[in-house]
Chains A and B, each alone.
Chain A
């Protein structure tokens, strides 16, 4: 039996990080933020069809975790998956094109926001079914283990999805067979429109790890350094063959459940307070400047480059052609 989950603290100093990794953190978080802001704007302008769910305020979790993975590691993400997909290294142009329903998108316009995948970087799919990814990640990890590969599978889920039975079935199988899976709960406090604590048996989702005999770790999900370190330790052990682990990242969903959500269930003041005090990107900026590991000029350059890349992605998506109706039957069967 594993012990109660531990809370992993932020590193006392960030001077040990090399410049490349610091730049990477800021670059990825900035790209995600710009990407999602553009998505919001274009969706509300009626240019993007379907449903979209944005990751604003949660950038540090995906960035911190993915910085420990290679393109050969697999991830399964969720309906709120743009951030993970960018952090895994997918091309924002083809992502944006997919979200716009264009043929140049990763899924040729057949998937949309909730069904992006980029197998070339190990992003095995977003999932429109809450809790749909656990068993798939477990199976990909099983395949890796059977083939003697050292790569792992990471599945992202929310506090709401942690109440699905699929969590139990996958966690049990992964732990019983010591599969290389990292279960990452992004506890953003909101299960769709419901405060998770009103419908969830525990305060900390990581408490549930004990029941499967796997380690559980809690971390401040808005601190990219803390997330990176916590994930690093767990992933090293998973790669060694020690079996799965559960990492709970405490964060907060700044946007509504979906773009356009009237958010009748919370006050604007509550959201604004979190965004002012606990924005993961502002926290990163403040800390790297305070510890003098990056300069304002360096931050500005990365940010402006990220903005440019995302603006190019939007232009690309806007101008890309739509699929031809004749493509309807393509890719139904092999």
Chain B
């Protein structure tokens, strides 16, 4: 299969969906003239025009709010957040407007929009340009939250998100944009709400997602050589969460580790731990282990950032301690 970058994969998804449906458009800061800071919009303005690939004022509040309003008026907008860290600026538009309108108004109108949010650690970008905030949004009913780990799912999930009639937040890790991976040439969709067992194993279930899922695979490889068989589950969707796949895997392996780049406290791992404690405690032969970032803002200096970062080694170490 051909290999393309994560960034190219998202571009293809945008291109295909904008070609198919003229109500799909995208707006955000620095996306048209510059092509997006990670090249993820390169070439789209030339093909679709500056009306459908819009450079906006620096105004996250109006970007998201206007996308909600446009969705109510019959469009299928995509908002680009530039950096996921900026979601705080437009939080009301996300959780009080975008997420609630369909339910609060008794299902009169859907809000078919996608919020693209580049997140995660890259280039020592420090406290306000590096965060992983996905767990905030699994606490909000009405939102769907997806978070691909590789180019194929990046394309498949973005296409699914654009076609979904619910508002979808699409987190894309900044360090993944330049990574290559196999992506089918024919059209396909990655289903929202379905996790994927990527490597089967028998000793421990390792649930992760986004860039960190790649660290999980590396950790599993190391441990495999040491005789520990790790089943790696790529969550892909944070909300609605695929309980069944997680519980089935834990039923098989009897051990559960969740790893994510976000801070451990109140993270996605906490929710998964609670689900398994409530619904699958009898499967477990060992306490659940969570691997996440320490409870600090993302620090700047290299040694500090390295101390903060979840790595394949840290995941492997945590798993070794379970045996």
Contact = CB atoms under 8 A, between A and B. Distances in A.
B105 A125 contact: yes
Nearest to A124: B72
A324 interface: no
Interface stretch (B92-100, B220-228, B261-269, B288-296): B92-100
Contacts of A142: 66, 69-70
B166 A333 contact: yes
A331 interface: yes
Interface string B85-127: 0000000110011000111111111100000000000000000
Interface in B43-69: 51-52, 56-57, 59, 61-62, 64-69
Interface stretch (A11-19, A168-176, A265-273): A168-176
B106 A334 contact: no
B108 A136 contact: no
A321 B164 CA distance: 33
B215 interface: no
B75 interface: yes
Contacts of A249: none
A278 interface: no
B64 to A, nearest CB: 7
B61 A166 contact: yes
Contacts of A135: 61-62, 64-66, 68-69, 93
A127 B100 CA distance: 11
Contacts of A110: 103-106
Contacts of B72: 74, 119, 124-125, 136, 139-140, 143
Nearest to B143: A333
A290 interface: no
B25 interface: yes
B92 A132 contact: yes
B74 interface: yes
A139 B68 contact: yes
Given A140-B69, A173-B57, A173-B59, A108 B75 contact: no
Interface in A97-119: 105-111, 115, 117-119
A136 B101 CA distance: 11
A134 interface: yes
A330 to B, nearest CB: 7
From A125, A136, A141, A166, residue with most partner B Cβ within 10 Å: A136
A332 B141 contact: yes
Nearest to B65: A135
A264 interface: no
Q: Please classify how large the interface on chain A is, using the bins under 10, 10 to 19, 20 to 34, 35 or more.
A: 35 or more
A332 B103 contact: yes
From B92, B93, B106, B142, residue with most partner A Cβ within 10 Å: B106
A119 B70 CA distance: 14
B69 A143 contact: yes
B286 to A, nearest CB: 35
Contacts of B93: 132, 135
B142 A139 contact: no
Contact of A139 (B51, B70, B107, B164): B70
B104 A115 contact: yes
B165 interface: yes
B56 A153 contact: no
B105 A138 contact: no
A139 B56 CA distance: 12
Contacts of B65: 134-136, 138-139, 166, 169-170
Contacts of A332: 102-103, 141-142
Interface string B149-169: 000000000000000111000
B19 to A, nearest CB: 17
A262 interface: no
Nearest to B66: A139
Interface in A29-61: none
Contact of B73 (A115, A139, A165, A173): A139
Given A107-B106, A124-B69, A146-B25, 7 more contacts: A110-B106, A129-B96, A132-B92, A138-B66, A166-B65, A169-B59, A334-B102
17 contacts: A74-B73, A108-B106, A110-B103, A111-B104, A119-B109, A136-B68, A136-B97, A138-B66, A139-B66, A141-B69, A143-B74, A147-B75, A173-B57, A173-B62, A176-B57, A332-B141, A333-B142
Interface of B: 25, 51-52, 56-57, 59, 61-62, 64-75, 77, 92-93, 96-97, 101-110, 141-142, 144, 164-166, 240
